[in-house]
Amino acid sequence: MEMLCFLLFSLKMGINSFYNELMDKLQTDKLQKFQQSLLNWYGGNARILPWREDPAPYRVWISEIMLQQTRVDAVKPYFERFLQEVPTIRDLAALPEDRLMKLWEGLGYYSRARNLKKAACIVMEQYHGRLPSDRKSLQTLPGIGPYTSGAIASIAFGAGEPAVDGNVLRVLARLSGNRGDLKDKAVRADLNALAEKLLSRQKPGDFNQALMELGALLCVPNGRPKCGECPVQPFCEACRQDAVDQIPVKTRKAKRKTENRTVFIIRFQHRIALRKRKEHGLLSGLWEFPNRYGHLSPEDIGKVLMEWGICPETITPLPDAKHVFSHLEWHMKGYAVRVKEKRETCSFVWARQEEIHRSYSIPSAFHAYLKALEKV
DNA sequence: AAGACGGGGCG
DNA sequence: CGCCCAGTCTT
């Protein structure tokens, strides 16, 4: 652990040239021990994941995009299904938008899917259908930033590039005992430099994944990290200081805004009114039940329905529902509306229940009312 | 530099 | 309920 201190120290202060030779040798020994401990642990404890079984570039790419801000368990079923239906980059470049969104439905951050397809088209046109292997080229593709480029380059192509995500930042902050705020750019720069120093040049892909796996399984963000099982605990400064509960430091983000909405399940015979969201902004291009800003009074409800060309036969309140986005909260009141006749005056689509399930991507925000649908 | 962008799991 | 997560893009 002294060596990690030294590493950090030397990054900040520069290495005293008088000790350079000696320290370099010592550093190399310690570093190799560190890498070996981590890699050995990874070899015996890595979860079996579909994209690890066969780390072909396309598979690694898809997995890394899906894994952005998303847990492994959430990704697994999506990954399998996606690869089955869209097995190659060529297929992805040719995939219709609605199929793409259907495959992504429920996974969140939908621009990831759109960027994926854009990137696939670029790869077809500019790279002969092969994903580029170097970090810089990868990073020019939409949806691939500093983390993902490093992950793909190292895991799929064996390049000596670090891959630093939130998980690795936490692990490295603890290892090095860095009490700086992870939101701070300088702190991130330090930890990125540390990742570069620690990286195994022989097995960069495994090493990067090992660091992330450590963060996911042992050096966890919530609850007490399992330091007793940690393969690099002897190298950990936070553990030595008994400060794993104080590191990393993260400033809390501003409170979410709340937004009231009123949602309508409008039924004509066995069909339900759906509406396509605008092409820009929140949940863009996905389908939703017609809804309005605010909690509408009975009079307002009448007006809105009239605006839509809806002549209600019955209006029944549904249970309230809430949905939390990372930056926004919807507090929803719902109403089931029955109509006798449907006019073609508004931009709704009238879908059968099976069609909704099969062909329309409805974000989770509306799932409470999607469920209500089945009971009525 | 800050805000937008989903959804789910956990304490 | 608040925090966090295998981040990136836009403004």
Peptide bond before A317: cis, by omega within 30 degrees of 0? no
Q: Which nucleotides of B are covered by protein (CB under 7 A)?
A: 1, 3-11
Give residue A13's pLDDT. 37
CATH number of the domain bearing residue A327:
3.90.79.10
Question: What is the Rg, in whole angstroms, of the alpha carbon atoms belonging to chain A?
Answer: 26
Give residue A375's pLDDT. 60
In a domain, A246, yes or no: no
pLDDT tens digit sequence for A224-247: 899 999 999 999 999 999 999 889
Question: What mean pLDDT do residues A156-183 have?
Answer: 92
Secondary element (H or E) of residue A256: none
Question: What mean pLDDT do residues A208-230 have?
Answer: 92
In a domain, A236, yes or no: no
A204 lies in the same domain as A269: no
A196 lies in the same domain as A268: no
Beta pairing, strands A312-324 & A328-339? antiparallel
Judged by C1' against the alpha carbon of A47, the nearest nucleotide is C6
In a domain, A244, yes or no: no
CATH number of the domain bearing residue A120:
1.10.340.30
Residue A9 has pLDDT above 60, yes or no: no
Report the domain count for chain A.
Answer: 2
Angle between helix axes A57-67 and A146-157 (nearest 10 degrees) is 150
Boundary of a domain, candidates A156, A190, A211: A211
pLDDT tens digit sequence for A69-119: 998 999 999 999 999 999 999 999 999 999 999 999 999 999 999 999 999
The C-alpha atoms of residue A365 and residue A376 are separated, in whole angstroms, by 19
Residue A164 has a CB neighbour count (10 Å cut-off) of 24
A168 or A222: which carries more pLDDT confidence?
A168
The C-alpha atoms of residue A168 and residue A192 are separated, in whole angstroms, by 9
Residue A222 has a CB neighbour count (10 Å cut-off) of 5
Q: Which amino acid is at A367?
A: H
Nearest residue, CA→C1' of B3: A327
A96 lies in the same domain as A192: yes
Distance A281 CA to C11 C1' (A): 13
Distance A218 CA to C3 C1' (A): 18
User: CB of A115 under 7 A from strand C?
Assistant: yes
Model confidence band, residue A340 (pLDDT cutoffs 50, 70, 90): confident
Distance A167 CA to C7 C1' (A): 11
Is residue A107 within 8 Å of A74, Cβ to Cβ? Answer: yes
DSSP state for residue A344 in the 8-state scheme: S
A202 lies in the same domain as A58: yes
In a domain, A223, yes or no: no
User: CB of A111 under 7 A from strand C?
Assistant: yes
- If we measure between CA atoms, which residue out of A100, A45, A47, A54 comes closest to residue A78? A100
Residue A161 has pLDDT above 60, yes or no: yes
The C-alpha atoms of residue A10 and residue A101 are separated, in whole angstroms, by 48
In a domain, A307, yes or no: yes
The C-alpha atoms of residue A239 and residue A126 are separated, in whole angstroms, by 48
Nearest residue, CA→C1' of C5: A69
Residue A152 has pLDDT above 60, yes or no: yes
Please pick, among A64, A213, A237, A288, the residue that the annotation labels catalytic. A64
In a domain, A251, yes or no: no
- The residues with which A21 forms a beta bridge, in sequence order, are none
A280 lies in the same domain as A192: no
A157 lies in the same domain as A44: yes
A15 lies in the same domain as A149: yes
Give residue A11's pLDDT. 41
Q: Provide the domain limits for residue A261.
A: 257-375
A203 lies in the same domain as A267: no
Model confidence band, residue A173 (pLDDT cutoffs 50, 70, 90): very high
Secondary element (H or E) of residue A319: strand A312-324
Q: What are phi and psi of A231, to 5 degrees?
A: -70, -20
Secondary element (H or E) of residue A200: none
A203 lies in the same domain as A302: no
Residue A24 has pLDDT above 60, yes or no: no
DSSP state for residue A288 in the 8-state scheme: E
Q: What are phi and psi of A190, to 5 degrees?
A: -60, -45
- If we measure between CA atoms, which residue out of A64, A72, A66 comes closest to residue A146? A64
* A354 given a catalytic annotation: no
A11 lies in the same domain as A133: yes
Angle between helix axes A20-45 and A185-198 (nearest 10 degrees) is 80
Residue A361 has a CB neighbour count (10 Å cut-off) of 23
Give residue A245's pLDDT. 87
Q: Which amino acid is at A226?
A: K
The C-alpha atoms of residue A20 and residue A347 are separated, in whole angstroms, by 72
A6 lies in the same domain as A100: yes
Q: What are phi and psi of A169, to 5 degrees?
A: -55, -45
Nearest residue, CA→C1' of B7: A108
Nearest residue, CA→C1' of B6: A108
Residue A338 has pLDDT above 90, yes or no: yes
Judged by C1' against the alpha carbon of A364, the nearest nucleotide is B7
Boundary of a domain, candidates A211, A235, A270: A211
Residues 15-74 of A with CB under 7 A from strand C: 49, 63-64, 67-72
Residues 241-300 of A with CB under 7 A from strand C: 250, 252-253, 255
In a domain, A9, yes or no: yes
In a domain, A74, yes or no: yes
Residue A286 has pLDDT above 80, yes or no: yes
Give helix then strand counts, H and E, for chain A.
17, 7
User: CB of A172 under 7 A from strand C?
Assistant: no
A45 lies in the same domain as A149: yes
